[in-house]
Amino acid sequence: MSQTKSSLTALTLGAIGVVYGDIGTSVLYAVKEVFGSGHVDFTPANVYGILSIFFWTLTLIVSLKYVVLVLRADNHGEGGLVAMLALASQAVKDQPRLRTVLLLFGIFGTALFYGDGVITPAISVLSAVEGLEVIEPAFKKAVIPITLVILFALFWVQKRGTSGIGKFFGPITLVWFAVLALLGVSQIISNPVILKALSPHYALFFMWENPGTTFIILGAVVLCVTGAEALYADLGHFGKKPIRMAWFAVVMPALTLNYFGQGALLLSQPEAVKNPFYLMAPDWALIPLVLLATMATVIASQALITGAFSVTKQVIQLGYLPRLNILHTSVRETGQIYIPMVNWGLFVAIVLAVVLFRTSSNLATAYGIAVTLDMLITTVLTFFVIRFSWKYPLWLCLAATGVFFAVDLAFFLSNLMKFFNGGWFPLLIGGLIFTLMITWKEGRALLNQKLRADALDLPAFLESVFVSPPARGEGTAVFLTAEKGTVPNALLHNLKHNKVLHEQNLFVTVENHEVPWVKLDKRLEVEPLGRHCWQVVIHYGFMNDPNVPKALQSLVQQGCQLEPMSTSYFLSRDTVIPTIGGGMAPWREKMFAQMHHNASGAADFLKLPNNSVVELGSKIEI
């Protein structure tokens, strides 16, 4: 029992560091942006109203929607938009049109994640470093260079992995939340009347009196739930209980105290609106606070970068992106991965955001559209999961998700007003990623269609070959083929040029499924074809790490012994030729051809031994 308690404590501490980093740093800029927008008159009644809106936004969106409802929708223990998308598409698999729409909807939401992944680290680190201006206004010129240096250092260390420094994330973030609470309490003690704003009637009264203003400022209020999607995305790493405990025991109380402390400060010193977070602290604490805030924002950014790697791997497995070079940075933890292209692509986009927008206030105008649209998509997918998978009554499903849908829609529509002030930036990034994803998916479908049209039936072909059998060479040949039951081009080339067939021949197809994990007992599907030939299908989920040689070791039970030194892996390296009048627009076919050309080799992705791989090229027109 004590061991269970200690592991729960460790997981809860880890969740505080990884899951709640983003939302924990939103105190740096959320209140400042609402009152600094110029839309809200600075009166005590308005301070009460805004703080009440903050508190009930956290309660409704984070506590009720994500922590209570969405965390229940785990896909074999995994969470995140990709896991939710897989759940929803499986729930409506008997309705093909609806399933297609949901898949497009979910993939667009996944693409928007990258837009959010650019804005969040930029606004977090920049807002922390802006604390230097409070210490000394002359430091203003140094804010952007220091921010860029910190971001570069953060992305540079990614290739070394975070397992070493990761153990400090939880304790540092716990200290951060403790400091947030202390800063808030120090102000609330001098002005305890601010706690009246906990009552929802202040929020309702403000909205009733100022409906237009309320709609406009929702675009800034949403900053207080920055990173709420991470709650669900990190479900597989920590589990429901630690995430819920961390929220209700540490994060929610600390955030509430800090926001109300900022409100108490504003009631007594309205001029503190220029940076209420840092102005809560005594002068002697400013430098340590800037350092701690910077560490907290770096940790929050780290969690988002790690999330981007994980999501990219899942999307590749689902077939919406080409294979990329994925490096494992930890021998013990399979989830510790590094994708160079994603890492440096994110870095370039974040640097562009910092240089383009220059201040956290300007970045705040860019933030919101992508994340609120993602929240809306999560709510819609949740409806289909609880209605068609959990089989709850329609009225209950509408009641459970309807309120959240209305709130998410209000936030989204409010943020749309920021489109021309910077909101276009994350949408542009999300749109580009979505175009790449859909182009790759459709291009692969066209390519497979062409391969199927030209392919020969494998069992019939082997029958004809063994009428007058060729010479049999020693060892095993493993032919990788995209379509089960078809003759791989590599086999045709081998017979044509070498006039030889190996002693053992495996025709292997790798299939990825819309579930996180495929268990070992479901991994292989084997069909004997006679004369020491086998058709093998290897099944993987989107969280599994493909490893073909390891999976094939299970064939010993079928009487097929694979000796590593005498096994060769044959792959076909296709060159795609775009043609006019094909299945996609010419520019998309060219884009697909380029993506196909730049994709990392199947040999590396499938963990094939480099010295045993034979690649044979062919040209395919689509």
Question: Residue 442: what pLDDT?
Answer: 92
Question: Residue 345: what pLDDT?
Answer: 94
Question: Residue 585: what pLDDT?
Answer: 87
**Can you tell me the mean pLDDT for 339-347?**
94
Question: Residue 189: what pLDDT?
Answer: 96
pLDDT tier at 3, thresholds 50, 70, 90: very low
Strand 613-621 to strand 500-513: parallel, antiparallel, or no bridges (unpaired)? unpaired
Domains annotated on the chain, with CATH: 2-422 (1.20.1740.10), 455-621 (no CATH)
Strand 524-530 to strand 533-541: parallel, antiparallel, or no bridges (unpaired)? antiparallel
d(CA 79, CA 15): 14
Q: What is the pLDDT of residues 480-538, one digit of tens each?
A: 988 888 888 888 887 887 788 889 999 999 998 888 888 888 899 999 988 889 999 99
Task: Extract long-range pairs of 445-448: CB within 8 Å, 24+ residues apart.
Answer: 446/582, 446/583, 446/584, 446/622, 447/574, 447/576, 447/596, 447/620, 447/622, 448/482, 448/483
d(CA 106, CA 219): 23
What does the block give as tokens for 567? 């096994």
DSSP string, 456-477: PBHHHHHHHHTTS--EEEEEEE
pLDDT tier at 1, thresholds 50, 70, 90: very low
**Total residue count of the chain as it appears in this document:** 622
Q: What is the pLDDT of residues 226-281, one digit of tens each?
A: 888 777 888 887 889 999 999 999 999 999 999 999 999 999 998 888 889 999 99
**Angle 513-515-521 from CA coordinates, rounded to 5°:** 80
**Can you tell me the mean pLDDT for 395-416?**
93
d(CA 83, CA 74): 7
* Global pTM value: 0.86
Average pLDDT, the chain: 88
pLDDT tier at 564, thresholds 50, 70, 90: confident
Question: Residue 332: what pLDDT?
Answer: 58
Question: Residue 427: what pLDDT?
Answer: 93
Task: Report CA 405 to chain centroid distance, whole Å.
Answer: 21
Q: What is the pLDDT of residues 95-138, one digit of tens each?
A: 999 999 999 999 999 999 898 889 989 999 999 999 888 888 88
pLDDT tier at 2, thresholds 50, 70, 90: very low
Residue 61 has pLDDT above 80, yes or no: yes
Contact partners, residue 558, CB within 8 Å, separation at least 6: 526, 528, 534
Question: Residue 448: what pLDDT?
Answer: 83
Q: What is the pLDDT of residues 191-231, one digit of tens each?
A: 999 999 999 999 999 999 999 999 999 988 999 998 887 77
The number of C-alpha atoms within 13 Å of 444 and in the hemisphere containing its C-beta is 17
Burial class (CB in 10 A: 0-12, 13-18, 19+), 580: exposed
Question: Residue 618: what pLDDT?
Answer: 73
Question: Residue 8: what pLDDT?
Answer: 86
Where helices occur in 417-542 by DSSP H, the ranges are 424-454, 458-465, 489-498
